[in-house]
């Protein structure tokens, strides 16, 4: 969401139960407050909704408001219900299932500093995949959207499905990934593309926590399409490279959201 309920640097109080709205299925989220340091979001999950295992680049806390669910954190299952507090370190794998309608507040900590570079080995491996991405990039991105929409159907509303059907969205993403692969050692050359995409993401209300979902879908699509070429070394390089790019976008989009608030 581009707009928040509360205004930064202004006192605010509310009864969280008054903000709860459950969708018929999937997830409804409301950003209560965000500033340069933290973001506080109310999540309302319909009974039976599952969030697949993912990670976050930022420390986070979860506070249960009502309902019941199971949070799996670092392989440990935690009963999530009213009053439960959970701290999740950055990069800790976690997943969630709502056994009943479930509401909780997720707090993301201070923005992490954006990395300025990736390792020389990663640069070499990423550049070596550029010819394959030029040839098979659209197959990869089409498969990525299939995986993401299957695992996270709630995000479909943020996309123009006509652009999915005619292939224009997968084509744009494929071109962006190819450009990144060829310029990973010179991100300044991608400044115009990053700016354009970041503004589009803000218009469609992309949130920082969604980048891990996209990254997992993209990496799986690469493995599906590239087959034996997607060695452990290549996939590790793309994981590192994707994290760098995600952090660049998250930082820029945070700045745009703040300007528009």
- Residue 199 sits at φ, ψ, to 5 deg, of -65, -35
227: region left, alpha or beta (phi > 0 left; psi from -120 to 50 alpha): left
Find where tokens 């550029």 sit: 130
Q: Do residues 197 and 172 make contact, with C-beta atoms less than 8 angstroms apart?
A: no
Q: How many CA atoms lie within 13 A of 232 on its CB side?
A: 0
Among 209, 216, 247, 253, the one annotated catalytic: 253
Q: Do residues 45 and 27 make contact, with C-beta atoms less than 8 angstroms apart?
A: yes
52 belongs to the catalytic site? no
211 belongs to the catalytic site? yes
Among 178, 211, 242, 257, the one annotated catalytic: 211
Per-residue H/E/C for 87-111? EECCCCCEEEEECCCEEEEEEECCC
Q: Do residues 232 and 110 make contact, with C-beta atoms less than 8 angstroms apart?
A: no
Using CA atoms, how far residue 140 sits from 88, 137, 243, in Å, is 31, 5, 18
Angle between helices 191-203 and 232-260 (to 10 degrees): 60
Active site residues: 211, 253
């Amino acid at each position: 969401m581009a707009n928040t309920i509360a205004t930064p640097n202004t006192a605010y109080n509310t009864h969280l139960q008054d903000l709860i709205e459950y969708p018929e299925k999937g997830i409804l989220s409301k950003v209560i407050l965000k500033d340069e340091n933290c973001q506080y979001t109310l999540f309302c999950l319909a009974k039976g909704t599952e969030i697949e295992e993912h990670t976050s680049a930022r420390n986070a806390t979860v506070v249960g408001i009502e309902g019941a669910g199971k949070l799996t954190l670092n392989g440990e299952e935690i009963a999530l219900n009213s009053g439960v507090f959970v701290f999740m370190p950055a990069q800790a794998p976690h997943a969630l299932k709502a056994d009943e309608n479930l509401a909780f507040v997720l707090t993301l900590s201070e923005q992490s500093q954006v990395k300025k570079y990736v390792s020389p080995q990663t640069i070499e491996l990423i550049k070596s995949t550029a010819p394959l991405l030029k040839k098979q990039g659209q197959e990869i991105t089409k498969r990525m959207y299939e995986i993401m929409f299957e695992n996270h159907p709630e995000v479909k509303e943020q996309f123009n499905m006509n652009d999915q059907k005619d292939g224009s969205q997968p084509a744009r993403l494929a071109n962006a990934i190819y450009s990144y692969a060829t310029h990973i050692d010179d991100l300044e050359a991608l400044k115009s593309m990053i700016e354009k995409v970041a503004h589009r993401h803000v218009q469609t209300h992309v949130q920082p926590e969604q980048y891990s979902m996209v990254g997992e879908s993209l990496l799986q699509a690469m493995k599906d399409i590239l087959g034996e070429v997607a060695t452990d070394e290549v996939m590790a390089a793309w994981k590192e490279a994707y994290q760098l790019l995600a952090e660049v976008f998250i930082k820029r989009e945070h700045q745009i959201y703040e300007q528009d608030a």
